[in-house]
């Protein structure tokens, strides 16, 4: 395996955590999962985005930083691969969508200070699924505060991710996950495993699932 720090990203409901679990099991790797349920502002944000967006995003950034700082910089003699189900830059992308301009500028200053202190992943796996598929997955996992997420919001998040990846030459395995079933179809997981055995130039490298 050529990569020691692998990050999985994608929109809400794209299947990041499922794939992270499967890859971690396959490689016997250290697993970093976002502790989204610990954010006390999450359900409040969905009820009143304008009032709770800033504390929501600050809490997420602080928790992500703490988690990545502790786990990525801790040597583990038995596990040489780390897999995460989020990219730290996710903080900035969601803040750009959720915050008004003045608050976002302040948030970005804090992000820039923190971001440079973290190790960046060797490769990013980005799961791209259409909004209809995302909504199906969201309904299936049945988190109460997610059940009324608008298609427009998901589309805005999607566009923010793709714009960021075009601007930053991240080494990316870009997966068309419109029909993804990593748990039920071993061929889908096989595509990811095969992709991780290849070396890439910086930029996006596209894969489809059978």
Which residues carry out catalysis? 85
Please state the three-class secondary structure of 82-122 as a single string.
EEECCCCCHHHHHHHHHCCHHHHHHHHHHHHHHHCCCCCCC
Query: Going by C-beta distance under 8 Å and a sequence separation of 6 or more, which residues neighbour residue 182?
Result: 15, 18, 19, 22, 188, 189, 192
Contacts 24+ apart (CB under 8 A), 52-55: 53/95, 53/98, 53/99, 53/103, 54/99, 54/103, 54/107
Q: Quick one: how far is CA 71 from the chain centroid? A: 17
Q: Which DSSP helix (H) or strand (E) runs through 50?
A: helix 49-72
């Amino acid at each position: 395996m050529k990569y020691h720090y692998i990050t999985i990203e994608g929109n809400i409901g794209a299947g990041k955590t499922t794939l992270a679990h499967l890859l971690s099991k396959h490689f016997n790797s250290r697993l970093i999962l976002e502790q989204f349920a610990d954010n006390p502002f999450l359900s409040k944000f969905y009820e009143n985005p304008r009032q709770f967006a800033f504390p929501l995003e600050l809490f997420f950034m602080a928790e992500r930083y703490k988690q990545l700082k502790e786990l990525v910089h801790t040597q583990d003699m038995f596990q040489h691969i780390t897999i995460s189900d989020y990219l730290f830059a996710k903080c900035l992308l969601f803040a750009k969508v959720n915050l008004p301009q003045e608050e976002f500028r302040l948030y970005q200053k804090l992000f820039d200070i923190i971001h440079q202190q973290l190790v960046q992943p060797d490769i990013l796996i980005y799961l791209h699924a259409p909004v209809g598929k995302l909504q199906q997955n969201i309904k299936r996992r049945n988190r109460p505060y997610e059940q009324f997420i608008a298609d427009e919001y998901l589309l805005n998040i999607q566009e923010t991710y793709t714009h960021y990846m075009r601007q930053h030459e991240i080494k990316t395995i870009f997966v068309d996950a419109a029909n993804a079933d990593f748990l039920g179809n071993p061929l889908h997981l096989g595509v990811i495993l095969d992709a991780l055995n290849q070396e890439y130039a910086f930029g996006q490298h596209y894969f489809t699932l059978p």
